[in-house]
Amino acid sequence: MNITRWLPHSFLLLASILLTPVYAATPDTALALPDITARLWTGDLDGMLQRRQVRILVPYSKTFYFNDQGTQRGLVYDIGQTLEEQLNAQRRGPHVHVVYIPVTRDKIIPALLEGRGDIAMGNLTITPERQQQVDFTEPTRRNVAEVIVTGPASPPITNPQALSGQEVYIHRSSSFHASLERLNAELTQAGQEPVKLRFAPEDLALEDMLEMVNAGLVKITIADDYIAEFWQHIFPKLAVNIQAPLRTGDDIAWMIRQNSPQRKTTLNALLARYPAGSARRNQLLQEYWKKVDYVKDAASEAERAKFERIVAFFRQYAGQYDLDHLLMAAQGYQESRLDQNVKSKVGAVGVMQIMPATGQELAVGDIHQIEPNIHGGVKYMRTMLDRYFAQEPMDALNKGLFTFASYNAGPGRIAELRKEAAKRGLNPNVWFNNVEQIAAEKIGRETVTYVANIYKYYLAYQFLIEEQAEREKAKAALKTGDGQ
């Protein structure tokens, strides 16, 4: 198979909420990630200064924090650098460092309470439920609206009530969940069908969800207004319903543990230096990358039809080699958009982009024909998985993800990244938010994007299959009703 292509992937970052300077740590100055499993500490600011370390918990995302070949970037990174400058401005002792600990959103509050971090940043809404567990700084942004975001595969949605009976994709841990539950209570009371809540994996950032809506992979999601409007410039097929929000009046702030007066005073002082409406708050972050590699529309009607025509081959050969047929179909879509006529510049052929020499070694027949091509691609992945990951303590999905990463970056390189992840207290047997972070730092976005795109297509195909099953169930119910 063709293992020579590198897939560029880039995104603009969100408008700066806080400050003027745009910081980007160079590879030789970037701090290593701390051991988040061993360093539990729950003191206040004086203890942080004594320890010379302030730990910021942040969702790993294209907006708030990411690491590209050792260069740390993102909105929260910029804020942290300003905080570090302020903490050291009048200090005569050793330098205090701010370090960044990426976690998924559902783990932010538990990690903060356990003492794995000292401050949590990253578009965190103040809610009564959260205030029972943690404390918040003064708001970094006030009167934020939760808005409905649709795309090319979406029905027209003019107001929240129009979500009745529609599927909406959100994170279970988000504040949007509670808003939709309240809407469902209102709809039920009015005798209308409730919104069908579909919960996205916490590994997916909000930008990933918006990208999937833009591509037609999912139909509807919810986002904060200012984030949705910014990403609308990046993903032009998004429709952001500003006029009929799901909820208004939200305040965004940073989280800290309760009973931390020193920390709260310091952070509020930092916010006061850059009041809302100031030039520093309104300045846009510069463009980080020059190209954007969008996820294509794997769930459009044309692509659905293409998928349905050839899914039997994936089901047959994935079954033969004990692999997930939807995961293999997702790789095929990433490689060729499931187009057997595609031929790369280096000579890779067909749906699975197999090199002719590799095709001969696989001994599956003529790879210029679609069935042998899919057979060969699945067999090749099975061979790689057996060679490098069969005995590893991973679940089936992670074995597949690591195999894709090895296919893209080389198995030796991935083995090195797993060792480095373990040294840093990350899980070497989990790709997302663990080895993925080290890959972004050491390799760059190419492999991270390759695996992430396959995962998004995989989710899209799962949604498609579930949707088809629900339609068939509804049809069967109608027939049963007619028969009665």
The answer to whether residue 313 scores a pLDDT higher than 60 is yes
| Statement to judge: residues 58 and 200 lie in one domain | no
| Statement to judge: residues 335 and 261 lie in one domain | no
- Residue 305 belongs to a domain: yes
Point out which residues pair with 241 in neighbouring strands: 148
Better pLDDT: 103 or 252: 252
Q: Treating both helix axes as pointing N-terminal to C-terminal, what angle do 445-483 and 301-320 enclose, rounded to 10 degrees?
A: 100
The answer to whether residue 70 scores a pLDDT higher than 80 is no
State the DSSP H helix or E strand holding residue 144, giving kind and residue range, or none if neither. Answer: strand 141-150
The answer to whether residue 341 scores a pLDDT higher than 90 is yes
Number of domains composing the chain:
3
Q: Output the domain CATH number for residue 356.
A: 1.10.530.10
Q: Which tokens is 432 given?
A: 């997302």
The pLDDT, as a whole number, for residue 474 is 60
Q: Round the average pLDDT of the chain to a whole number and report it.
A: 83
| Statement to judge: residues 267 and 336 lie in one domain | no
The pLDDT, as a whole number, for residue 283 is 54
The answer to whether residue 354 scores a pLDDT higher than 60 is yes
Better pLDDT: 93 or 431: 431
- Residue 3 belongs to a domain: no
Cβ neighbors of 399 (< 8 A, separation 6 or more) are 385, 389, 390, 392
Nearest CA among 180, 86, 222, 83 for reference residue 140: 83
Share of the chain above pLDDT 90, in %: 57
| Statement to judge: residues 259 and 386 lie in one domain | no
The answer to whether residue 2 scores a pLDDT higher than 50 is no
- Report the alpha-carbon distance of residue 442 to residue 106 in Å, rounded: 26
pLDDT class for 347, splitting at 50, 70, 90? very high
Which of 233, 250, 267 finishes a domain? 250
* Residue pLDDT, tens place only, 134-166: 999 999 989 999 999 999 999 999 999 999 999
State the DSSP H helix or E strand holding residue 103, giving kind and residue range, or none if neither. Answer: strand 97-103
- Residue 2 belongs to a domain: no
* Residue pLDDT, tens place only, 23-58: 334 333 333 333 433 468 899 999 999 888 899 999
Which of 250, 266, 292 finishes a domain? 250
| Statement to judge: residues 82 and 126 lie in one domain | yes
b/e per residue, 67-91, with b = 16+ CB within 10 A? bbeebbbbbbbbbbbbbbebbbeee
- Residue 440 belongs to a domain: yes
Burial class (CB in 10 A: 0-12, 13-18, 19+), 291: exposed
Give the structural domain span for 240. 143-250
Q: Which tokens is 31 given?
A: 């701090």
Please provide residue 295's backbone torsions phi and psi, each rounded to the nearest 5 degrees: -70, 130
| Statement to judge: residues 113 and 226 lie in one domain | no
* Residue pLDDT, tens place only, 174-183: 999 999 999 9
Q: Which tokens is 295 given?
A: 């996820």
b/e per residue, 349-371, with b = 16+ CB within 10 A? bbbbbbbeebbeebebeebeebb
| Statement to judge: residues 259 and 344 lie in one domain | no
Q: Output the domain CATH number for residue 246.
A: 3.40.190.10
| Statement to judge: residues 451 and 308 lie in one domain | yes
Which of 207, 235, 250 finishes a domain? 250
| Statement to judge: residues 124 and 167 lie in one domain | no
| Statement to judge: residues 456 and 334 lie in one domain | yes
The answer to whether residue 21 scores a pLDDT higher than 50 is no
* Residue pLDDT, tens place only, 282-311: 554 444 333 344 455 655 666 667 777 788
Q: What is the mean pLDDT of residues 248-275?
A: 92
- Residue 13 belongs to a domain: no
pLDDT class for 69, splitting at 50, 70, 90? low
- Residue 188 belongs to a domain: yes
Share of the chain above pLDDT 70, in %: 81
The pLDDT, as a whole number, for residue 298 is 58
Q: What is the mean pLDDT of residues 234-263?
A: 94
- Residue 100 belongs to a domain: yes
Q: What is the mean pLDDT of residues 363-382?
A: 97
| Statement to judge: residues 96 and 169 lie in one domain | no
Q: CA 201, 206, 207, 212: dihedral to nearest 10 degrees?
A: 50
| Statement to judge: residues 96 and 210 lie in one domain | no
- Residue 408 belongs to a domain: yes
The pLDDT, as a whole number, for residue 465 is 79
Better pLDDT: 272 or 274: 272
pLDDT class for 475, splitting at 50, 70, 90? low
pLDDT class for 68, splitting at 50, 70, 90? low
The pLDDT, as a whole number, for residue 119 is 97
Q: Which tokens is 329 given?
A: 């179909």
**Structural contact between residues 309 and 440, judged by C-beta atoms closer than 8 angstroms:** no
The three-state secondary structure class of 418 is helix
